[in-house]
Structure 1
Amino acid sequence: MKMVFRWYGEGNDTVTLKQIKQIPGVEGIVWALHDVPAGEEWPLDKIMAYKQLADEYGLHLEVVESVNIHDDIKLGLPTRDQYIDNYKRTIAKLASVGVKTICYNFMPVFDWVRTDLFKEMEDGSTAMFMEKAKIDNMDPIELVRKIAENPDYSMPGWEPERLARLSELFEAYRDVTETDLRNHLSYFLEQIIPVAERYDIKMAIHPDDPPYSIFGLPRIVKNRDDIAAILKLVDSPYNGVTLCSGSLGSNPSNDIAAMVRQFADRIPFAHIRNVHVYSNGDFIETSHRTTDGTVDICGIVQAYSEIGFTGYARPDHGRHIWDEQCRPGYGLYDRALGIMYLWGLWDSAERTKDSRQEVKAE
C-alpha cells in the first residue's frame, strides 16, 4: 500500500508540503489543477509547477484527483468529442510528470452533497454532515447558497462557473436516465482507455457520494453491481475504480471489504474513511477508528492486506479538531491521525499474514 495525501496547492491549502512530508509513510500528494475549468486541456507549465514544488520535498505526483469530466460528455452531446480530445491530451501531459492514476467521477451536477460542513460532535470537533430529510425537501439552489458560505477555499465538485448554470444543468439532465448516463460513460471510456493504456495511466472512477439519487439526478456508481457493470464496459486493467469506503459506506448495505476482494485487480486507488450512519439515513464523517463509525475500517484494511494491495491509498476526509481552521474535511490533524491508524491496522494485518505463511511453509 502506497500512502498519499490530498493537497490543493500553494495558496489554496492550509496544509503545507513540509507538514505532509513529516507524516510517516506518506510518499506523494494527490493533486489537481483546480483553477482549470472542466473540459479544458491542462497547461503543461502549470503541471510542471506542481512537479517542481513536489520535487522540493521528495514527494511524487503519481495520483491526480480529479481531471473533471465536462457535462457535455455526461449528457452525450455532439460537442463531447472536443472535450474528450482535450482529456486525451491532458493524459499525455500528465504521463510526462510520472502520473500513474487519474481519479474521476461521473456524477451529474453535484460531485458530493452535505447539508452541514461543520456539524459539531459530542467531543467538540466538527465534521461534514448530511441530513437526508433536508436533502429530500431542499431546493438545490438553497444548498448551493449554503456551500458558497465557505468562500475561503475552492470546493472540488462545486465549481462556481458550473453552479452558476444550475437551473440550466438541471433542465439538461431532466430526461437523462441511469441507462443513458451509463451509455455516455461507456462512450467516454471507449475513447479514453486506449490512450490510458498507451501512457500507462489507470483511470479510477469514484463512487457516487452519497450512493443514491439526489434531487432526481441519475446515479450509476452506487454499489457492487454498478461497479461490476462499469468495469465490464471496457474490460481493461486501466478501467478501474477508486474504492471509497466513506462514499459507499453511507449506505450500510454496501459491504466494502467484499468489494475489495471482488475487484482486487481493478482498484488502483483507495479512499479509506469512516462515517456514522443513523437509522433515519443521516450520516456524519467520523474519525477513521472503526468503533467511531458504522464502516468496518479494520475489516477493509484486512481485506487490502489479504489481496496484496500495492495501489495508492489516502485517508480521505477528516474531522476538524484542535481548533484547526481549514477546508471542510481537509485539515491536517485528523487526516494525519487517520494515516497512523491505517498504518497500525496494515502493519498488524501484514504481520498476521506473514505468520500464517510461515506456519504453512513448515
Structure 2
Amino acid sequence: MEMSFRWYGADDPVTLEHIRQIPQMKGIVSAIYDIPAGDVWPYDRIVSLRDEIAAHGMTLNVIESVPVHEDIKLGRGNRDALIENYQATIRNLSKAGIKTVCYNFMPVFDWTRTALDAALEDGSNALKYDEAAARDIDPLSGELTLPGWDLSYQTDDLKAIMDAYREISETQLFEHLVYFLERIIPVAEAEGVRLAIHPDDPPWGIFGLPRIITGADALRRLFEAVPSPNNGITFCMGSYGSNPDNDLYEIIDAAKDRIHFVHARNVKWTGDRSFQETSHSVHDGSLDMVGLLEKLAANGVTSPIRPDHGRMIWGETGRPGYGLYDRALGATYLNGILDTLRR
C-alpha cells in the first residue's frame, strides 16, 4: 500500500513542504475545490495540480473527490448532461495520469459530526458524533458546517433539496447510483480509471435523508448490479467501523479486489450510534488497526492508503480533522505496521 496524505491545496495550512518530511510519504490525495459540482474539470487545471505536487517529490495518486451533482442523485431530467460532464472529467484525469477517483453518493451532506473539538483524556481534541445531539441539530440553520460540505447552497435551496430527498426512498437512491455507474464505468474501463465509492459517514440515516452505502450487504448488491472491477470502494475503516454491527473483515472479503483506496482511521464507540475519533493506535480506539491492515495485505490490497482524520495535538489549530501533527503520527504508525507485515 502506498502511503498518501490528504492536501486541500494552496489554502491548506498544512503545506506540501511539511507533508514531504513525513517518512515514506509518496502520494498526495487532493482535488480541484473551486469547480462547482457538475462542471467539467479542465485538463490544464488538473495538470497544474499534478505538476505542483510533483515539484515537491510526490505524486497526485488519488482524486478525492469528484463531486456527484445532487440532480444525478435525485434522478432529475438533466442528469444525463451532468453525467456526460463527469465522463469528460474522468477522461481528463486519465489523460493527466491520475487513475483513482474517490467519490460518494451521500445526499446533500458529506461526512457529519456533532462536535469538531471534543476533548479526549490525553488533552487533545477530535471529531465526535453523538446521536442525541444530531437529533437536536437543524441542518437548515447553518449552525453546523464541516470540511467537505458544499456550502454554496443558500438556505432556501438547501430546504428544497432536502425536501426532494424526503420523497426519495433508499431503493430509488440506489437505482440512481446504478444509473450513474452504468454510464460512468464504461468510460472508466476505457481510460483505466478505478472508481472508489466512499461509504456513508456515519453509515445510517441522518436528518431524514436516505443512506445506501453502509456495509457488506450494500457492497454485494452494488457489485452485483455493476460487476466491473473498475467499480470499487474506498475502504474507510472509521466510517464503516463507527457502526459496531459492521464486520470490517467481512467488508474486506465482500470487496475482494475492488478496494481501490484505503482510509485508515480509528474510532471509539461511546454509545448507541455515537462515537469519537481517536489516534490511529489500536490501544485508543475500538478498531483493530493492526488486524485490519494484516487482512488487507493478505487479500493483496496494494492501493493508496492515507491516515484519515486526526486529533488536534500539541496546540495545533486548523481544519478540523486535518491537522498535520496527528496525521503524520498516524502515517508513521501505519508504516510501522506495514513494514512489519512485509517482513
SS of the aligned residue for 1:277 comes to strand
- 1:1-362 to 2 correspondences below 5 Å: 1-10=1-10, 12-142=11-141, 144-147=142-145, 155-156=147-148, 158-162=149-153, 164=155, 165-351=157-343
Looking at structure 2, the residues matched to 19 and 207 of structure 1 have their Cα atoms a distance apart, in angstroms, of 29
Moved over 3 A (4+): none
Shift of 1:30: 0.4
Looking at structure 2, the residues matched to 50 and 6 of structure 1 have their Cα atoms a distance apart, in angstroms, of 13
SS of the aligned residue for 1:146 comes to coil
Is the 2:109–2:150 contact (alpha carbons within 8 Å) kept by the matching residues of 1? no
Shift of 1:163: 5.6
**What amino acid does structure 2 have at the position aligned with 1:3?**
M
Note the alpha carbon deviations across 1:302-356, whole angstroms, 9 max, x for none.
10121122111111110011111221101111011111111111122222xxxxx
Contiguous gaps of at least 5 residues in structure 2: none
- For normalisation by structure 1, the TM-score amounts to 0.92
SS of the aligned residue for 1:34 comes to coil
Looking at structure 1, the residues matched to 217 and 250 of structure 2 have their Cα atoms a distance apart, in angstroms, of 12
| Percent of aligned positions that are identical | 49
SS of the aligned residue for 2:62 comes to strand
Looking at structure 1, the residues matched to 210 and 114 of structure 2 have their Cα atoms a distance apart, in angstroms, of 20
Shift of 1:45: 2.6
Looking at structure 1, the residues matched to 133 and 271 of structure 2 have their Cα atoms a distance apart, in angstroms, of 15
What is the aligned residue count? Answer: 342
Looking at structure 2, the residues matched to 240 and 191 of structure 1 have their Cα atoms a distance apart, in angstroms, of 15
Looking at structure 2, the residues matched to 257 and 26 of structure 1 have their Cα atoms a distance apart, in angstroms, of 26
SS of the aligned residue for 1:145 comes to coil
Q: Which is richer in helix?
A: 1
Q: Summarize the Cα distance change of 1:29–1:145 in structure 2 as closer, same or farther, 3 Å threshold.
A: same
Looking at structure 1, the residues matched to 273 and 185 of structure 2 have their Cα atoms a distance apart, in angstroms, of 36
**What amino acid does structure 2 have at the position aligned with 1:19?**
H
SS of the aligned residue for 1:140 comes to coil
Counterpart in 2 of 1:360? none
Is the 1:63–1:102 contact (alpha carbons within 8 Å) kept by the matching residues of 2? yes
Shift of 1:80: 0.4
Looking at structure 2, the residues matched to 100 and 214 of structure 1 have their Cα atoms a distance apart, in angstroms, of 32
Looking at structure 1, the residues matched to 159 and 271 of structure 2 have their Cα atoms a distance apart, in angstroms, of 32
Note the alpha carbon deviations across 1:123-144, whole angstroms, 9 max, x for none.
11111111111112322224x3
Q: RMSD of the TM alignment (CA)?
A: 1.3
Looking at structure 2, the residues matched to 93 and 76 of structure 1 have their Cα atoms a distance apart, in angstroms, of 25
SS of the aligned residue for 1:26 comes to coil
